[in-house]
Structure 1
Amino acid sequence: MTEKEQKLIFNRWLEQHKALVFKVVRAYAVTAMDQDDLFQEVTIQVWNSVPAFRQESSVTTWLYRIALNTAIKWMGKERKHHKQEALESAQSVLHMSDHPIDGRLTWLYEEIHKLDEIDRSVTLLLLDGFSYKEMAAILGITESNVGVKINRIKKHLIARSEKINHYGI
């Protein structure tokens, strides 16, 4: 694969799937600076993985694996990142939108961020409509384990939202 082909694929993937990347970044990094750092880490990993993509899964599944694994490793490093030069083509998609963010969405991301790493990943995959089988393949757990986790996560989030609604927190 030539560098030009790699760049075309990379840019297309980021443009088509930037919402996926932003979701993972927001779920794993709280501050804007950390989000920028994690976004950069994910885009570097995506860039490096383009030549290895063998189309054995969908691009979406491939990108989720990359984004989630990168985010989990990033968190394990206790946010001590190596300074790396930003990929120029990734900078244009870094800033999502000028539209105001719904407070409920902010609350949801805050709650997702409080979950452990695997539950966070399950939640993001669920929100994007992945099947239990796809989630199990991406995360390396069984389908029944995915089901149990989803049930517990839903109960937890419902209980948290009821507290807020009941107490006005």
Structure 2
Amino acid sequence: MTDAERNRIFESWIEAHKAILFKVARAYGSTHADREDLFQEIALQVWHSVAAFRGDSAVATWIYRVALNTALAWSRKERKHGSGRQDFDAATALLVAPPDRDPRIEWIYRQIAELDEVNRSLALLMLDGFSYRDMSEILGLGESNVGVRINRIKKALAAQLAKEQNDGL
């Protein structure tokens, strides 16, 4: 693959799937600067990996895998370098939807922000309509493990919603 071919493919993929990169960067970056850095890091990793794409899955699935793996590695690196719990708490606040959104959407993003990294990734993939098989491929989990985790996430969300409705929130 020539550099020109790689650049052409990369540009078309990023244009078609930049929402994936934004969503993942938003979910894992704790500040605006972190989200920008992570977006660039994900884009760079996609560029480096274009030649490795074998076509075994859809481009969107493959880009999600690259984006989530890059974000998880970035997140671990950030924690290792002392950002710790404070950054995790800040990241939680970032998943709150903009104020012009439906309050139900804001609520779901707040709940997703409270999940651990793997379940947060699963929730994002679920919201984007990926199949259990695709989620399994992207995250390297067994398909049955994905199903169990998704069911637990749904039950936890339902329980939290019931609690908030009972508390009058």
> With structure 1 as the length reference, what TM-score do the two structures score?
0.79
1:22 aligns with 2:18: no
Please state how far the C-alpha of 1:80 moved relative to its aligned partner: 7.6
Looking at structure 1, the residues matched to 111 and 31 of structure 2 have their Cα atoms a distance apart, in angstroms, of 15
After superposition, the CA RMSD in angstroms is: 2.3
Looking at structure 2, the residues matched to 50 and 105 of structure 1 have their Cα atoms a distance apart, in angstroms, of 34
Instruction: Answer yes or no: is the 8 Å Cα contact 1:27–1:109 preserved in 2.
Output: no
Q: Which segment drifts farther, 155-164 or 125-134?
A: 155-164
Partner AA of 1:59 in structure 2: V
Identity of aligned residues (%): 57
What does 1:1-169 align with in structure 2 at a 5 Å threshold?
1-78=1-78, 100-167=100-167, 169=169
Deviations 1:81-124 (A, max 9, x none): 9xxxxxxxxxxxxxxxxx94444434433322221111111111
Please state how far the C-alpha of 1:68 moved relative to its aligned partner: 0.5
Looking at structure 2, the residues matched to 67 and 73 of structure 1 have their Cα atoms a distance apart, in angstroms, of 10
35 and 110 in structure 1: CA distance in 2 versus 1, 3 angstrom threshold: farther
Partner AA of 2:36 in structure 1: D
> With structure 2 as the length reference, what TM-score do the two structures score?
0.79
Q: Which segment drifts farther, 126-135 or 147-156?
A: 126-135
Please state how far the C-alpha of 1:166 moved relative to its aligned partner: 4.1
State the aligned residue count.
153
4+ runs of 1 displaced by more than 2 Å? Answer: 99-111, 158-169
Q: Which segment drifts farther, 109-118 or 140-149?
A: 109-118
- Higher share of residues assigned helix: 2
Q: Residue in 2 aligned with 1:87?
A: none
